[in-house]
Structure 1
Amino acid sequence: MPVNKAARYRFEIIDECLRNTKKKWSKAELLRFVNRRLELHMGSETHVSASQLRYDLESMQSEYGAPVEMYKVGRSFYYRYEDPEFSIKSIPVEEEDLVKLNNAVQLLQQIKGFTIADEIAEIVSRLESRYKYSSNNETPVIAFESSPEMQGVENLEDIYHAIIRKNVLKISYQTFRAQEPRVWHIHPYLLKEYGHRWYLLGYTEEKETIGIFALDRMKDIKIARHEFIPNSFVNAADYFRDVIGVTILRDQKIESVLLRFSNTIAPYIKTKPLHRSQQILQQHEDGSVDVQIDVVLNPELTSMMMSYGKNVKVLQPERLAEEIKREASSLLENYGLKSDA
């Protein structure tokens, strides 16, 4: 089974001891050394018991094939490696692991704007060279829908590193409606992709609130010498869970949206839910289906409903249904037609 970081660190300490053939390692001495090292680097609360030490020794044997043996000198018992040249640090990477790394790299390389995938690819290549493995399949077998002309991806990696390093960003930002860009000091927390566009969630000093910023509207980005404010405002991981898209207006509440999809589109809706909250309420004899999603109403939801055309009808809330009617009327007017509604 996979080894967690804390266990791996203990294994490395034990490994260091057992490789030291100049010292006899009784269980008591081994336990003292391990706990001394743990306390030094991780605090006294990380001390382990004698039973945990015994379990670690067994795990090293099963997970790494460590040749741990117990030998007797007089009336005392000690531990050592049967092979003094062995070390868990010198165990080669398995070919299967390299295959998995290569597959992960191919997926990452499809995210435009990240050079980290290429850096990982170089690491994998060096490992392959070191251990005489070779990945013959260089043709991707998984492809994502992509937009190669998408603007803003050139800033993606810089913002990613700013989030990791907790840097405040000075961003010159111009909305589509603004005549001139405006400068904001943003404490970045999360990158979000939606509809082939990347967005940044962060705290804005000037507004003293959380905001969403499209990367393709950023004209210039610099690191600001401001003290970073950690995110204590929202749960970034769940911030978008109750919306379709990224638009969240202040004080909006979640609403139950009831929709009826035609028999043409119903199978697709059932197999690819609109939202995590989707529930199938009723299957009609003609093959149409009623579904419910619990979301915040926003422009992205309206656009999604419009994209289904005649194959969807908004049953509630009424104000969303009216919004769709207005959009449909405007669409007819574009073609010189008038709505009967």
Structure 2
Amino acid sequence: MGRLIRYILIIHKLSGPEKYVPVDSLISYLNLQMEIRGYEIGISQRTLQRDMKDILSMFELEIKNYRGHGYYIAERPIDNDVRYEELLTNFDLLTSLNQESQTAGFIIPEHHRPKGNDSIPILIKAIKDCSVLKFDYRLVRKDDKVISKTVKPHFLKESLGLWYLLALDENNNLRLYAIDRISNILILDECFKRDDSIDPDNLFRHSYGIWDDPNIPIEEVELSYSPLDGKFIKTMPLHSSQEILVDNDEEFRIRLHIRITNDFVMALLARSTSLTVIRPLSLLKRINEIYRNALKRNEL
């Protein structure tokens, strides 16, 4: 874990505003950051060079030293969109949650942690090895009926604190499987050819969460909130298409281009105390019906 954190720290530092990072400056930065995290210090230039080779092998990032100037990232994969700052934060949280860590007493984990995350390592292995998976899957909407699935795993996706497996089913249709409903996972002695035509960036581009039904049209949505709620929505946008139309002491208004799915409607209800749906009318009617039914169920 210490080595992995050191690799991420190197990439994070070299991805910063400085074009070149001198070797002494990089070693000093690494020693300080590793000491903060409770690891031994004393990183040498030889250790640094070994780390650069490991980073090339693991992350496909080539790091070079421009004599007299310092280290820099010379080449990275075109499709590399890894957010190393977030990755570093996740590593820090993982090590902090370790009971032997010096910082274990300062992190308060969520009490209702989602189930099924312990199966992530075996799913990652199957994805990397292009191995066919067999598992039992619980259908929540069908009285928790359990069925057997044989799939070709392609991606893992995180959404709202839950993890999902994207895989090709027996009919080669791309399906989503909630990891918390998967059990009895078995990696079969059967490999498959990965479908590289699947573009993960486009799969959920027009949706909120993990529901992206192409039969649901992409619509222009205009929403108004209180200035206070607006501050939170600016920090955590509802969608990548979010565009701010009004931002003053009286109103915060945004425009989105998105599929209006159940997940999106549920997200809107989270700030319903100040939400005003401007358009489309169909969304306003949908929210209105939810409010009316809720009032009937909760009448005094």
TM-score, L = length of structure 2: 0.64
Percent of aligned pairs with the same amino acid: 24
Residue deviations 1:72-123 (CA, integer Å, cap 9, x gap): xxxxxxxxxxxxxxxxxxxxxxxxxxxxx99773234479xxxxx99xx9xx
Deviation at 1:193, TM superposition (A): 1.6
Residues 1:105 and 2:68 are matched in the alignment: no
Deviation at 1:200, TM superposition (A): 0.9
Residues 1:307 and 2:260 are matched in the alignment: no
2:189 aligned to which of 205, 212, 225: 225
Q: Which structure's relative contact order is higher, taking Cα pairs within 8 Å and 6+ residues apart?
A: 2
Match of 2:57 in 1: none
Residue deviations 1:5-40 (CA, integer Å, cap 9, x gap): xxxxxxxxxxxxxxxxxxxxxxxxxxxxxxxxxxxx
Matches of residues 181-200 of structure 1 in structure 2 within 5 Å?
A: 181-200=146-165
Match of 2:289 in 1: 326
Q: Residues 317 and 102 of structure 1: is their aligned pair in 2 closer, same or farther, counting only changes over 3 Å?
A: closer
Deviation at 1:142, TM superposition (A): 9.0
- The code of the aligned residue for 1:304 comes to A
Residues 1:158 and 2:122 are matched in the alignment: yes
Residue deviations 1:208-232 (CA, integer Å, cap 9, x gap): 3111110111132111333313123
- The code of the aligned residue for 1:107 comes to L
Contact 2:159 2:210 in 1 (8 A): yes
2:142 aligned to which of 167, 178, 197: 178
Contact 1:279 1:291 in 2 (8 A): yes
3-state SS in 2 of match to 1:202: strand
Counterpart CA distance in 1 for 2:240 and 2:96 is 25
Judge which range, 146-155 or 325-334, deviates more: 146-155
Counterpart CA distance in 2 for 1:60 and 1:141 is 44
Match of 1:234 in 2: 198
- The code of the aligned residue for 1:169 comes to L
Counterpart CA distance in 2 for 1:278 and 1:142 is 35
Residue deviations 1:225-247 (CA, integer Å, cap 9, x gap): 33313123421244223221101
3-state SS in 1 of match to 2:269: helix
List gaps (5 residues or longer) in structure 1. Answer: 4-55, 65-100, 112-116, 122-136
Counterpart CA distance in 1 for 2:201 and 2:259 is 17
Contact 1:201 1:213 in 2 (8 A): yes
Q: Residues 149 and 166 of structure 1: is their aligned pair in 2 closer, same or farther, counting only changes over 3 Å?
A: same
Larger radius of gyration: 1
Match of 2:226 in 1: 262
Q: Residues 317 and 217 of structure 1: is their aligned pair in 2 closer, same or farther, counting only changes over 3 Å?
A: same
Contact 1:181 1:219 in 2 (8 A): no
Counterpart CA distance in 2 for 1:141 and 1:237 is 38
Contact 2:96 2:102 in 1 (8 A): no
Match of 2:79 in 1: none
Residue deviations 1:312-334 (CA, integer Å, cap 9, x gap): 11222222222111211121112
Match of 1:295 in 2: 258
Counterpart CA distance in 1 for 2:106 and 2:205 is 26
List gaps (5 residues or longer) in structure 2. Answer: 1-9, 15-63, 72-86
Residues 1:203 and 2:168 are matched in the alignment: yes
Match of 2:243 in 1: 279
Contact 1:162 1:188 in 2 (8 A): yes
Contact 1:173 1:182 in 2 (8 A): yes
Match of 2:4 in 1: none
Q: Residues 260 and 62 of structure 1: is their aligned pair in 2 closer, same or farther, counting only changes over 3 Å?
A: closer
Counterpart CA distance in 2 for 1:139 and 1:280 is 40
Counterpart CA distance in 2 for 1:228 and 1:215 is 21
Deviation at 1:194, TM superposition (A): 1.7
- The code of the aligned residue for 2:91 comes to V
Contact 2:206 2:212 in 1 (8 A): no
Q: Residues 294 and 227 of structure 1: is their aligned pair in 2 closer, same or farther, counting only changes over 3 Å?
A: same
Deviation at 1:254, TM superposition (A): 2.3
Deviation at 1:152, TM superposition (A): 1.0
Contact 2:116 2:182 in 1 (8 A): yes
Counterpart CA distance in 1 for 2:90 and 2:299 is 51
TM-score, L = length of structure 1: 0.57
